[in-house]
Structure 1
Amino acid sequence: MVTSKETRTVIIALHKNGLTGKKIAARKIAPQSTIYRIIKNFKERGSIVAKKAPGSPRKTSKRQDRLLKVFQLLDQATSSAELAQEWQQAGVSASARTVRRRLLEQGLVSRRAAKKPLLSRKNIRDRLIFCKRYREWTAEDWGKVIFSDESPFRLFGTSGKQLVRRRQGERYHQSCLMPTVKHPETIHVWGCFSAKGVGSLTVLPKNTAMNKEWYQNVLQEQLLPTVQDQFGDEQCLFQHDGAPCHKAKVISNWLREQNIEILGPWPGNSPDLNPIENLWSIIKRRVDKRKPRNSDKMQASIVQEWTAISQDLVQKLIESMPGRIAEVLKKRGQHCKY
């Protein structure tokens, strides 16, 4: 039985006042055997601190533990079993369980690897150029930008994971399953938003390629009304990435004819710099919870969740832009947490 420091202090104080172990036990502070043990420990050691159990001796030295850390940091995807083998080759006999304990002691925990696009040297250079250009921008400046993007929504499990609470034997119960299909139907959508709220959302027709003709039509039918509705005669910037259909000459000419200024140039492989990516993730989770069973219901769910996005949410996403820029600069062009 573990006795708190406060209880041990009270027992020793009563003992010093002349009370016997039996009389102290009568006060029901602790079991009589515990009281006798605490008093005995105090007489022998002069301390109220509990005596530590000897336990088994540590199998590894601090130097060997540092060596293990070096092995792990050389390849952070190495498993504990593989590390145990490397350690053994270095003269340390220890199990994978011991490896995990030693790594935990040194702050190295096992986590699922984050998925981010591969950054080339050009990507990193372009990200730094972009962030240095806009490093002085405030949230108010970013509030004049309309962010846009396309995104796929897959039927049966958009977000890729779902947690359930189940009782023993219910693993394959219908209510505890996440249905999957070999070739899930995918709905492609285009949307835009700014600090003033979400703009237009459009669904790409089935079996329609994402090309410059379709994109120009979207800009004409969806972007222009959003610009007029949210900014009117105020100056704003339009953000889109470097997809081939976005960079087409006909698109650049059309945007120039419409007096729409472009933010950028936008660096490649940089979804962490675009807050609309976070908006897509939120909508996908919400659509998942609706559990649509066919493409029509999923399409309706996407539209409903898009229109339900609050002003507070989009404002927070826009306000995150200075932090995104600062973190990419701090990490010298590498991915940031967003």
Structure 2
Amino acid sequence: MADTCDTEEQRIIDRIKCIAFREARDAGATFINRHWVAKKGHHWTEEDFLHLAPSDEFFVWVVRRPNYQNDRIWAISVDDIEEDEHYREMIKNQACIGIFVIFTAKKLHWVIKDKGESWTGQYFRDIILAEHVFPFLKNEENVIDPDEVIFVHDKEPCMRAYQTHHLLQDNDVKFWGNDIWLGNSPDLNVAEHIGTIIKDEIEKKMLSEPGHSRYLEETLKMHISDVLKKMQTDTDLFETLLCSYPSRLRAVKNANGRHTDY
């Protein structure tokens, strides 16, 4: 197994990091962008991508909010970002619940954030990683191979921190760090697709609630738990999303690194 692990690490480093960085440097690039990552991703097979464990965190609101962060990322100019003051005023004080999700080809795992808890780097390391992600990834019931699984997260500050990288390394968890994976790429993060499905299902359930219960935090939390439990072992969905990485990377490559329809 040690030889396999060494080969896998060498393949990741050589194909994605060293080769891409060298070619980028020779071409005069000062950073690795979406187009470079997409070009180098064609070395991977669908089987390789089944070893990924994408993750994301997001808030679910009693009344569904648009994803202003993604709108900001893809907007051509500030004027393209929709501003609805009436809508924002209406939902200003509504309840919301934070969720962290991670999934593999075999299983979905989640953490519902405690009320009043902030998404700080310390919380991410002490609670999300140490108490949830590490045990989840090391359990062979949750992953195809604990020695091959790769943790993937977008480049939120809590993930970019060197303390986080050191913690992952100290616990022998493979991950795509700052020098490989890109932030602000919703179309390359399949965990965002999972998040959208979760929000859609919760929204349906909340809209079906009669009267005042539709706006209660307790009702929202109940439906969040129900939706997550129902999705927990939807392996067809998980494999479909993970196997979509090759086509996602091709789309980004063909778009020369620009926004795609994913």
- Superposition TM-score, scaled by structure 1 size: 0.55
Q: Where does the alignment leave 5 or more consecutive residues of structure 2 unmatched?
A: 1-28, 68-89, 207-213
- Counterpart of 1:304 in structure 2 is 226
Moved over 6 A (4+): none
Q: 1:266 aligned to 174, 181, 192, which one?
A: 181
CA distance in 1 between counterparts of 2:165 and 2:95 reads 32
String of CA shifts for 1:171-213, please: whole Å, max 9, x gaps: xxxxxxxxx5332222111010011221x21122222221111
1:175-254 counterparts in 2 under 5 A? 181-198=91-108, 200-216=109-125, 217-229=127-139, 230-231=142-143, 233-254=146-167
Contact 2:155 2:184 in 1 (8 A): no
Quote how far apart the aligned CAs of 1:234 are: 3.0
Once residues 210 and 233 of structure 1 are traced to their aligned partners in structure 2, the CA distance between those partners, rounded to angstroms, is 27
- C-alpha spacing 1:233/1:242, structure 2 compared with 1 (3 Å): closer
Match of 1:326 in 2: 250
TM-score normalized by structure 2?
0.69
Q: Which amino acid aligns with 1:202?
A: V
Residue pair 1:127, 1:267 contacting (<8 A) in 2 also: yes
* C-alpha distance in structure 1 between counterparts of 2:157 and 2:92, whole Å: 29
What amino acid maps onto 2:152 in structure 1? Answer: Q
* Residue pair 1:273, 1:324 contacting (<8 A) in 2 also: yes
Counterparts of residues 100-115 of structure 1 (less than 5 Å): none
1:131 maps to 38
User: Cα distance, 1:328 vs. partner?
Assistant: 0.1
Deviations 1:137-184 (A, max 9, x none): 122111001000101111123569xxxxxxxxxxxxxxxxxxx53322
Cα separation, 2, equivalents of 1:237 and 1:157: 32
- The 3 A distance-change label for structure 1 pair 303 and 158 is farther
The one-letter amino acid paired with 1:207 is G
- What residue is the counterpart of 2:241 in the other structure? 317
For the 8 Å contact 1:185–1:295, the answer to whether it is kept is yes
Q: Distance in 2 between matches of 1:221 and 1:235?
A: 20
- Alpha-carbon distance change, 286 to 159 in structure 1, aligned in 2, over 3 angstroms: farther
Matching residue of 1:152: 59
- Tell me, in whole angstroms, the C-alpha distance in 2 between the residues paired with 1:253 and 1:300: 36
Identity of aligned residues (%): 26
CA distance in 1, matches of 2:64, 2:146: 42
What SS does the corresponding residue of 2:239 show, helix, strand or coil? helix
Equivalent residues of 1:159, 1:288 under 8 A apart: no
Q: How far apart are residue 218 of structure 1 and its match?
A: 0.8
C-alpha displacement at 1:280, in angstroms?
A: 0.9
How many positions carry a matched residue from both structures?
A: 197
Q: How does 1:160-175 map to 2 (within 5 A)?
A: none
- Gapped runs of 5+ residues in structure 1? 1-121, 161-179
Q: Which moved more, 1:151-160 or 1:135-144?
A: 151-160
> Residues 260-304 of structure 1: CA distance to partner in whole angstroms, max 9, x if unpaired?
111252212101101111111111111011114311221221122
Separation of aligned partners in 2, 1:183 and 1:125: 40
SS of residue matched to 2:147 = coil
Determine if contact 1:126/1:268 at 8 Å carries over to the other structure: no
Q: What SS does the corresponding residue of 1:322 show, helix, strand or coil?
A: helix
Indicate if the aligned counterparts of 1:159 and 1:285 stay in contact, CA closer than 8 A. Answer: no
What residue in structure 2 maps to residue 280 of structure 1?
195
Alpha-carbon RMSD: 2.2
SS for the counterpart of 1:315 is: helix
Separation in 1, partners of 2:98, 2:54: 17
Larger Rg: 1
Larger RCO of the pair (alpha carbons < 8 Å, separation 6+)? 2
**CA separation in 1, counterparts of 2:171 and 2:53?**
15
SS of the residue corresponding to residue 138 of structure 2 reads helix
Taking structure 1 as reference, are residues 237 and 244 closer, same or farther at Cα in structure 2, changes over 3 Å only?
A: same
* Greater mean alpha carbon deviation, residues 256-265 or residues 235-244: 256-265
Alpha-carbon distance between aligned partners in 2 of 1:280 and 1:221, rounded to the nearest angstrom: 21
Report the 3-state secondary structure (helix = DSSP H, G, I; strand = E; otherwise coil) of the residue aligned with 2:111.
Answer: strand
Closer/same/farther in 2, CA of residues 237 and 325 from structure 1, 3 Å limit: same
